[in-house]
Amino acid sequence: MDGWKLAETVSELGYETTNPAIREEAVRLAAWAVLRRACRLVGPLRLSRRKRREVMRESFRGELEVELTLDNILGKEMPEPHDWMAVLPEEHARAVCLMMDVSLSMSGRNLALAALACAVLALKIPPGDLALVAFDSVARRLVALGEKVSAEEVIRRILRLPARGYTNLKDALQTGGKELSRARSGKRVGVLVTDGVATVGEDPLSETRRFPRLHVLMTEDGKTNEVLCRKMASGGQGQLLRIRRLEEMPARLLELANRL
């Protein structure tokens, strides 16, 4: 059975099954196919790391920082313990909240592409550092910050959505901003995927202040409100990135993830 075809089918209008077990099996097969595509797109995983320099307290931790150590012992008959310096890798601490439009226009193949894009980010951001908010007429928190779930489970949660309703950008930003506020430390980044056409809810611009950084990925497959998208990105001190066709969405999220 073609798993990718299942991923395109499970959220289509008119797709129904009276047997929950059959639907869940379809979601499982579809999620596995989406994950395989995401892994091929991302390639070998390397967590971005910074390096810090400190006194070598244990010989098995880190690597010798040769230049600093030589500077410290220069002119001394015997090196002292604090002269030996080490370089230690340090994980790049950041919390990311992805807010993904799953309204009616995203049903069928478009939701499969959205799941693929979410999987790419889930593979690049360590578990627990990524929150996921899906929104249509209302926003739903699918993955909470600090919740350690696999990329495959992220895909399943997306594919289980019905992809119905309108587009409520204010609720999406409000929910995503609240989620990011739970981050204890490090860099906090919001990523909003939308066409900018808010069909329900109030003006979303006031909610951009919740984000230290908010990047807007603007989809251009259908109607697009570029003015609002630009204002949201500007209000969140982030970038506006164009997605001309939804097929580009996973690759564009990968490009952004590599810079976060």
| Tokens coding 6 | 């299942």
Highest CATH level, class, for 3-38+93-257: alpha beta
CA–CA distance, 105 with 164 (Å, rounded to integer) = 8
CA–CA distance, 247 with 255 (Å, rounded to integer) = 14
Tell me the domain boundaries of the chain. Answer: 3-38+93-257, 49-91
| CA nearest to 11, candidates 150, 139, 162 | 162
**Contact call for residues 106 and 238 (beta carbons, < 8 A):** no
**Contact call for residues 93 and 127 (beta carbons, < 8 A):** no
CA–CA distance, 34 with 82 (Å, rounded to integer) = 51
Task: Pick out the chain residues at pLDDT < 70.
Answer: 1, 13-18, 45-50, 59-61, 89-92
| Tokens coding 203 | 């003006």
Backbone conformation region of residue 86, classed left if phi is above 0, alpha if psi is from -120 to 50, else beta: beta
| Tokens coding 155 | 């895909």
